[in-house]
Structure 1
Amino acid sequence: MKFLILWSFKKIALTPDLVRAVLDMRAYAKRLKDDGKLEVHYHIVGRHGGAWILNVESNEELENLIAGMPVYNYAEYEIYPLTEMR
């Protein structure tokens, strides 16, 4: 099951914890890519956040991967299920 995840930071102050979380996102994305869960990820120009396409086995796995994001507590998420058009 594929999902488009659009995430962006809430309007909050830049704290040391947030800076650390942002820096940890690169390693988190690499791990998900290596595991075959993250197909692509993009920065959205003009927005503090990104767009990810996750390929998961279940809704529970999707929830766990999103909750595992280092920026989870600092961001807002839009989640869209994807299907191929044939």
Structure 2
Amino acid sequence: MKFLVLWRVELSLVSREMAAAVARMPAYAAALRRDGKLAARYHLVGQHGGAWIYQVTSNEELERLIGLAPVYNFARYEVLPLAEMPDDEWIDPGHAD
């Protein structure tokens, strides 16, 4: 199962602890990649946060991994489930069969 997780840090919670948590995120991401749990990660341009694509076996696993993120207590999350969309199943709206 793949999920797009958008996380944005809450600027109202700016503190040394938050800065330290943000600084730990790259190491957390590296461990998830090594374990095959993080397919990709991106910075949200012009924002304070990220867009990560998790590859997990269950909703519970995703919940656990998000909860273990260093910024968990300093961020808001939006979780979007992803579904594969193979090219061979694409229907061209200009060609009715």
Answer yes or no: same fold by TM over 0.5: yes
In the alignment, which residue of structure 1 is the partner of 2:91? none
Shift of residue 10, structure 1, vs aligned partner: 1.4
Quote the Cα distance in structure 2 between the aligned partners of 1:54 and 1:19. 23
Equivalent AA in structure 2 for residue 34 of structure 1: R
Q: Identify unmatched segments of 5+ residues in structure 1.
A: none
Shift of residue 14, structure 1, vs aligned partner: 2.4
How many residues align structurally?
Answer: 86
Normalising by structure 1, what TM-score? 0.96
Which structure's CA Rg is the greater one? Answer: 2
Quote the Cα distance in structure 2 between the aligned partners of 1:64 and 1:4. 15
In the alignment, which residue of structure 2 is the partner of 1:22? 22
Identify which range, 60-69 or 10-19, moves more after superposition: 10-19
- 8 Å CA contact retained: 2:29, 2:38: yes
* CA displacement, residues 5-46 of structure 1 (integer Å, 9 cap, x when unaligned): 001011324211011101100100000000000000000110
Equivalent AA in structure 1 for residue 55 of structure 2: N
Task: Please identify runs of 4+ aligned residues in structure 1 that moved more than 3 A.
Answer: none
Quote the Cα distance in structure 2 between the aligned partners of 1:39 and 1:27. 15
Alpha-carbon RMSD across the aligned residues, in angstroms, is 0.8
* CA displacement, residues 42-64 of structure 1 (integer Å, 9 cap, x when unaligned): 00110100100000001110000
Quote the Cα distance in structure 1 between the aligned partners of 2:63 and 2:57. 11
In the alignment, which residue of structure 2 is the partner of 1:66? 66
Normalising by structure 2, what TM-score? 0.85
- 8 Å CA contact retained: 2:41, 2:51: yes
Identical-residue share of aligned pairs (%): 55
